[in-house]
Every structure is written in structure tokens, then in C-alpha cells.
A and B are shown apart, each in its own frame.
Chain A
Amino acid sequence: MSKRTVQFKIYRYDPDKDEAPYMQDIEVELDPHDVKLLDALVKIKAKDDSLSFRRSCREGVCGSDAMNVNGTNALACLTDVDSLAQPIVLRPLPGLPVIRDLIVDMTQFFKQYHSIKPYLINDEPPPERERLQTPEEREELNGLYECILCACCSTACPSFWWNPDKFVGPSGLLNAYRFIADTRDRATNERLDNLEDPYRLFRCHTIMSCVHVCPKSLNPTRAIGKIKDLMVRRAV
């Protein structure tokens, strides 16, 4: 890769001085080592320190820098800047209130995560050593425990846009199934009761945007399907 100039259109809004949000045209010269979209944002910020976005690990495990990139939710640190059509249009994650620029208020997202009791429930006195689990039982957690809570999926979901207060959303449901699938957890019935509701689980209409955007290649739709299966099986 060489030096090149890249065109951006970036959503800007500072409630302290802007009456309304606007799209700003920005051009930036990138060095050969600027590979990821996050590298470009850091470069832009070095010129205009008012551009605001979250970022931390820069390797796709902390989940901070989710944003809407050319219409699709993605992590800036995992997106190759040269793979994107220009001008690269950056907006905050859709469906959540914007605090400033690319920073959204994630309260609703985390409220839904917390609503599924995201912790192991097992009130039996623990053994002195580890609770045993076969490698096969442990494998059931693969594709579930890796969630980084970036909110790419939930904020790509039309059902979550409509009912963020009532529908748990793909991330929360994936995490709910992570505990249902854990042989050490003793609260499957309680977890299913918690989701048996016209909105909390059943607003998922298998649109599968969540699967499409997940930067960790997880499949919330499949997890939701498994919860629905368990609910049906429980009923008959």
C-alpha cells in the first residue's frame, strides 16, 4: 500500500454548538501503514481534534468502535479502508440516541443485556475443584461466549429499532442462549419464562441482519431459533 488520499462523509453533531446534525466532507492523506478504517479516523482526529468516536483495543475484541460504514454496521478497527467505496460514509449506529458525532447512548442496549440475567445461575454448593464439563458440552458454548457487546447486530435489527425497550434484541438473546446452553447453569426454565412474551423473544422475524453484520461471525438468529425450539418443546 502506498500513500493515498481518501474521501469521507462523516456525521457530525455536537449538542453544545450544533442546532442539528450534518454530514461533513473530509479528505485525508493516509500513510502506507494506515490500513484500517480506525487508522484513518485517528489520522483525521490528529487534524481535527473535535471528531468524537469511541475506540480502545484496535483489534476487534473490546467492541468499542462499532459504527455505520457505508450503510452497514461494522467495527472500524477490523474494516480495511481500501475495501470501501468512496466517499466513505460514516454514521453513528442506527436506532440509538446520538450523544455526539459517532458516539451513541448505549443505555437501552445494555439494559436489554442485563435483563436476561447474564451470569451463571447455579445455587448448588460448588465443589472444591472445578465443575466438570465434557469437551463436547463445552463446545456448545462456541459461537456464543465470544460476543463482544459491540451492538452491531442489535442496531441493525428493524425489530430492535421499533421496540428497543421491549425486544431483547439479537445480542441479548444470543447471550441468553449462552447460559441456557451451559451444562453448569440450572436456570433454563427461569430463563425461558423471562423470554416468554410477545415482544422479548418473539419480535425476531428472522430478518438475519444480525448475522450479516456480526464482526465476530456469530449467529444470533440460530441461537434465537434454539430458544424458540426449547420453548415449543417445553409447551408440549
Chain B
Amino acid sequence: MGHTDSLEALSVNVAKRTFDAVIVGAGGAGLRAALQLSEAGLKTAVLTKVFPTRSHTVAAQGGVAASLGNSTEDHWHWHMYDTVKGSDWLGDQDSIEFMVRKANEVVIELEHYGMPFDRTDAGKIYQRPFGGHSMNYGKAPVMRSCAAADRTGHAMLHALYQRNVRAHTQFFVEWMALDLIRDAAGNVLGVTALELETGEVSIFHAKATVFATGGAGRIFYSSTNAFTNTGDGLGMAARAGIPLEDMEFWQFHPTGVAGAGVLITEGVRGEGGILRNSGGERFMERYAPNLKDLASRDVVSRSMVTEINEGRGCGPHKDHLLLDITHLSPEVIMKRLPGIREISIRFAGVDPIKAPIPVVPTAHYQMGGIPTNFHGQVIVPKDGNLRTPVPGFYAAGECGCASVHGANRLGTNSLLDLLVFGKSAGESVVADFKSGDLSLKPLPADAAEFSLARLARLESQQEGYAVADTRLAMQRVMQKHAGVFRFNDLLKEGVAAILKVAEAAKSTIINDKSRVWNTARQDALELDNQIEVAKATMISAEARKESRGAHVRDDAPDTPEHPNGRDDQNWLKHTLWYSADNHLEYKPVQLKPMSDDVEPIALAKRTY
């Protein structure tokens, strides 16, 4: 290898920083975990690619679920039922019970931190209806989504950052984590990271490492996600031998702005918005007679694509549908949906007070991720135990898979997930720290070698593929082969196609060789992570021969034997994908709730 000399020279210069804990990512989950650690007095480093308030939690709109019951009667058990049903029974019922029972506590905490929730006339937190959330086990919509206008994520992320400023959390802003460091026994010892401004690599050596790196929606061509959502935590974990769970399940949000992909919250339908086809028909009445436009997201997205496929799409190309709120009063729109009006005017050229918004299902959220239990500990199969914690490693938020969303996430459960599991991961670190379970294990001599080799490869690569072209090729494959509906032949072709792109990605070239704020290098490093996620998705999806939640395939149709195409006998199990050889393993779903006195939600056909 021609670059060995320079690599060794670099290696000597790698700075080592030591902490009790390192948190990677400063979105909602990372900031919530950081509070736990800072307030417990642990020496904590929070690494983030972007200034914390620029993390993608900022773009969440509609609300966070909690059965506060401020406007309608509500109960955590109804929330549990809705979440299990929404997950198409793939969610782990112990984690789901844990999450819904913690919801009130973490939302009230946020209010105490200063989050500017909207208010009811009684002065309590305002709650609105949301898709898939019901009272009395599916009987009628419930007002469960706690909202700050249609800027809930923004209000939440800023409140969490502000609370961290108060707690003196130590941030490393605009640092990109590169690789997970493990020793021969598999213990996690921290990460390597690149300071964007200087281009220098450091080792963050810690007793505990918490991943809160968010999602990877940018593996698709059309996505509601930010550019920065490149699945860095998933890539790092996969390269370090940690399997990724249930990656075939991607949520396509029903209402991305047609063309631009920008999110229009489901809260629009919560406030009374209606989806219409080219005939002006409220078509969701046909697909979900009970909850109609507020059915679960996977159901609404499939209904929309069916309308388009059957020729009832809108516009000159009949390629989108219309989200109509012209029947709502301008006052309600200005008060409850001001951000949506702004987005609609700016990105669709339409004032929703006067005309409906053109929308289309758009890639939005990954239900799968790094496998964890509800304590936020990363768990892997080891020595016959399918749920063995990896010492020193925790994950929370969209990058983690507890698994509360199973095969389909309900709207507002993502902000709840990042609060509950951000906090529980933080609490687990503090508890493990105090019990003496965590110690600073010695770094292997080659701790930074893998990252340095990746950088050296980019530095010296003369021939190969441009990063932008390779990324686009990946996005087109994912869009075509792993979309809202899935087809056996397209899935098979998709696996071959993505493996080909993955091969090309091994020889990406960058022209920019500067040390200072090299975004070309950053793009290439992010692409490595995206490729891991894309492979996991295609391979897991091709293998799952049933329809469940967001994964619906043509060769697993709705039959009396398999309602909705779901095959519980063979496929009521979680997928685990390993990067090293692309092999798959499976593990059972936790059908038993956390508490002995809570009844499991029994398997049933999912209808809305």
C-alpha cells in the first residue's frame, strides 16, 4: 500500500481524549441522554456534525404522543394497543409498554424545561388527533398529540438544547464520528471522529458510548429528510460487526410536497384536512371506513399510490393527490398550522387557505436500526442468548430499534421514542457507571487505523466514481426497488443493483484534498454509511416473504389464510442483517409486555 508511510505518520498524531461517556448526535435523543449524564455529573462529550439545533428533530411538526387526556379521555393502555396494532404486531410489547407508560412523565418534563406547547382554554398542553391513535381500542380518534403549533420538533429541540446549556453539557460541534472502536472481546471503547474545521482525527475514549445519530432517509431519491440524515450510526455499527434490525421497514409519509419532498404534517389531517383524488373524492373513506384520513401512515400511503396507479392522480401527469384544508377557517390555519402554510406557499406555490396542497407519499422514517432493549442497551445474539448487551454501547432515537415501531410507526411516536429512550439510555449509563459495571478499558494499538485507512484511501484514490454520481445511483435503486409497494422481481434485481453500487462506492474519488472543512470528504464518508443502510434494507426486504406494515409485496396478497398478506406462522420475527457477509438471522418478537399484570395485545387482522 503506497500510503503506508503517511498513515503511520498520521497515526502518531491522533489525539486521544478521555471521557466517562461519549454521545454521538445532538438531536432529540442525544440531547435528552446528555441531560441525564450532565445532571449526574459524568464527564460527557456530545459529538455532533451540525450545531445541535440544526439536527433533524427540528423538522418534526405535528406533535408528541402522551395520554395526558387534556381534551379527550385517554389511557396509556389505549396508546399501547394503538402502537402494537400500528406496528402490525412486530413491535416488542415490553418496549412499547415501557414507552407509553413513560410518555406523560417525559412530556411534562419538557414543559417544565420551558417548551412552548400550545394551550387549551384550561391552560393545559394542547393535544390534537393523529393517525392511528384512538380511544377505547380503535373506536374513535383521540386527542393525544401534544403540539406547539406545527413546529413541535423545533420547539422541542430548542428546549432540550437550552436545558443542556443550563446543565453545562460539553459539546463538540461540527465533529463527525467516523468509526466505532471495539476491543477483541467486543467491548465498545468509544469512537474516532473528524473535526470538520481542521480535518484532524481524534479518538474519543470512553467508558460508555451512546449513539443517537438519527435516521438515513437520504438513501432514497425522494425523502422528507435533511441532507445530514445519512445513517452514520448505523454505518459505524454495521462495520463494527453489530447487526441491524428490521431494516426492511421504511415509512413513506403520505404527505410530502409533490416534487420538493418537504414534509407536510399529519397534524393537517388531525386538524380536519382531507385527501382528495382527481375526482375530488375523499377516497380514504373507501380504504379505512373508520379512521378515514387518520388511518395509519402505511395504509394511507398505499391507498394514495393505488389511487395514482388506477389513474385517479391529480395534475398534468396524474402523479399526486390533493390535501385539502380550504374548508378550515383561516384563523385555525394561522393558529395551528402556520408553518405548513409557509411551506406550502414556498415549496408548492399554493396558499392552502385558498387551494389544496399537492402531496405524494415520500420516504420519511426508518422503523429498524441498531437493536436495543428498552433500557437503551445495544443487544446482539451471543452464546445462545439473542439479547446480550454489548458492554459500553447504548443507542436511542431513530438510529435505535427498541423495537417500538415494528413494521410501521404511528405519527408522534417518534418524538416520544427519542425522549423516552434518550432518557432511559442516559439512565442506564448512569446506573452502570455507579454500579461499577463500566470501566475505561485499554485501547487497542490500532484503534484509529481503520478510520485512517478510509481517509488515506480517499486521499490517494485516482480513478473511480464521483461521490455525487454514486449517491444518486444508490438513491435511484432504493426508490425503484424498495418503495411503497414491493415486487418479488424488483426486490431480487434491487439486491443485485445495490451490491453493484456498493462495490462502486469502495472506489469513490474526491478532487478536493484540502484539510479545512472538506465537505467532499464528508460526503464520501457519509456515503459509506448510507451504503450499509441501503444494503441492509434491500437484502432484508427481499428475504421477508410476507406483507406486514410498511413492507407489502405483490406475492403476499390478502387471503383468508393470510389476512393482509401477513404470515405470523413464519414471519412474526425480527430480521438481523450483518454487514460482513450480508447474512440474515432472525429473533422472536417480545409478545409479552414488561409487567406481569399487563395483558398482551393479541394478534389480530389490522383494519382501520
Please give me the residue from chain B that is nearest to A147 by CB atom.
B158
Report the tally of A-B residue pairs with Cβ distances under 8 A: 149
- Is B593 part of the contact surface with A, judged by Cβ < 8 Å? no
A residues 25-79 near B (Cβ < 8 Å) are 33, 35, 45-46, 48-50, 52-64, 78
| A49 in contact with B227 given A114-B165, A130-B125 (CB within 8 Å) | no
B119/A134 in contact, CB under 8 A: yes
- Is A3 part of the contact surface with B, judged by Cβ < 8 Å? no
Bound form: Cα–Cα A46–B469 in Å: 8
Report the contact-size class of chain A (Cβ under 8 Å from the partner). 35 or more
Please give me the residue from chain B that is nearest to A62 by CB atom.
B54
In the complex, which residues of chain A have a beta carbon less than 8 angstroms from the beta carbon of B343?
59-60
Partner of A14, one of B112, B260, B466, B516: B516
- Among B307-315, B361-369, B506-514, B595-603, the one that faces the other chain is B506-514
A49/B523 in contact, CB under 8 A: yes
A129/B108 in contact, CB under 8 A: yes
Least CB distance from B254 to A in Å reads 17
In the complex, which residues of chain B have a beta carbon less than 8 angstroms from the beta carbon of A185?
114
Least CB distance from B490 to A in Å reads 24
| A14 in contact with B514 given A110-B51, A119-B166 (CB within 8 Å) | yes
- Is A126 part of the contact surface with B, judged by Cβ < 8 Å? yes
Quick one: CB contact mask for B474-518 with A, threshold 8 Å, 1 for yes? Answer: 000000000000000000000000000000000000111011111
A135/B121 in contact, CB under 8 A: yes
Bound form: Cα–Cα A172–B451 in Å: 39
- Select the residue from A53, A61, A119, A137 with max chain B CB neighbours within 10 A: A61
Quick one: CB contact mask for A167-199 with B, threshold 8 Å, 1 for yes? Answer: 000000000000100101100000000000000
In the complex, which residues of chain A have a beta carbon less than 8 angstroms from the beta carbon of B158?
145
In the complex, which residues of chain A have a beta carbon less than 8 angstroms from the beta carbon of B461?
none
Quick one: CB contact mask for B437-467 with A, threshold 8 Å, 1 for yes? Answer: 0000000000000000000000000000011
Bound form: Cα–Cα A2–B14 in Å: 50
A57/B226 in contact, CB under 8 A: yes
- Among A99-107, A155-163, A203-211, A223-231, the one that faces the other chain is A99-107
In the complex, which residues of chain B have a beta carbon less than 8 angstroms from the beta carbon of A184?
114
- Select the residue from B125, B148, B158 with max chain A CB neighbours within 10 A: B158
Partner of B228, one of A56, A99, A106, A128: A56
Bound form: Cα–Cα A57–B518 in Å: 20
A52/B116 in contact, CB under 8 A: no
Least CB distance from A35 to B in Å reads 7
- Is B520 part of the contact surface with A, judged by Cβ < 8 Å? yes
B123/A133 in contact, CB under 8 A: yes
| A63 in contact with B54 given A100-B517, A120-B162 (CB within 8 Å) | yes
- Is B44 part of the contact surface with A, judged by Cβ < 8 Å? no
Least CB distance from A126 to B in Å reads 4
| A59 in contact with B54 given A14-B516, A49-B523, A119-B163 (CB within 8 Å) | no
- Is B170 part of the contact surface with A, judged by Cβ < 8 Å? no
Please give me the residue from chain B that is nearest to A101 by CB atom.
B517
A60/B53 in contact, CB under 8 A: no
| A45 in contact with B468 given A57-B56, A132-B123, A145-B155 (CB within 8 Å) | yes
In the complex, which residues of chain A have a beta carbon less than 8 angstroms from the beta carbon of B520?
49-50
- Is B111 part of the contact surface with A, judged by Cβ < 8 Å? yes
Least CB distance from A84 to B in Å reads 15
Partner of B53, one of A138, A141, A148: A148
- Is A19 part of the contact surface with B, judged by Cβ < 8 Å? no
Partner of B59, one of A62, A132, A141: A62
- Is B19 part of the contact surface with A, judged by Cβ < 8 Å? no
Please give me the residue from chain A that is nearest to B164 by CB atom.
A119
In the complex, which residues of chain B have a beta carbon less than 8 angstroms from the beta carbon of A21?
none
- Is A234 part of the contact surface with B, judged by Cβ < 8 Å? no
- Is B262 part of the contact surface with A, judged by Cβ < 8 Å? yes
B53/A59 in contact, CB under 8 A: no
Bound form: Cα–Cα A62–B165 in Å: 18
Least CB distance from B472 to A in Å reads 9
- Is B347 part of the contact surface with A, judged by Cβ < 8 Å? yes
Partner of A141, one of B116, B120, B163, B166: B116
A62/B346 in contact, CB under 8 A: no
Bound form: Cα–Cα A132–B119 in Å: 8
Least CB distance from A27 to B in Å reads 18
In the complex, which residues of chain A have a beta carbon less than 8 angstroms from the beta carbon of B228?
56
Residues on B lying within 8 angstroms of A by beta carbon are 50-51, 53-56, 58-59, 68, 108, 111-114, 116-125, 148, 151, 154-155, 158, 162-163, 165-166, 197, 226-228, 259-260, 262-263, 339, 342-343, 346-347, 466-469, 510-512, 514-520, 523
Pick 27 A–B contacts, CB within 8 A, sort by A.
A17-B514, A33-B259, A35-B260, A45-B468, A46-B466, A50-B520, A52-B517, A52-B519, A54-B50, A57-B227, A58-B262, A61-B154, A61-B339, A62-B58, A78-B346, A99-B197, A106-B51, A120-B114, A130-B117, A131-B112, A132-B123, A132-B124, A135-B120, A137-B119, A145-B148, A146-B151, A148-B53
Top 6 A-B pairs, shortest CB-CB distance: A120-B114, A132-B123, A49-B520, A119-B162, A50-B512, A46-B468
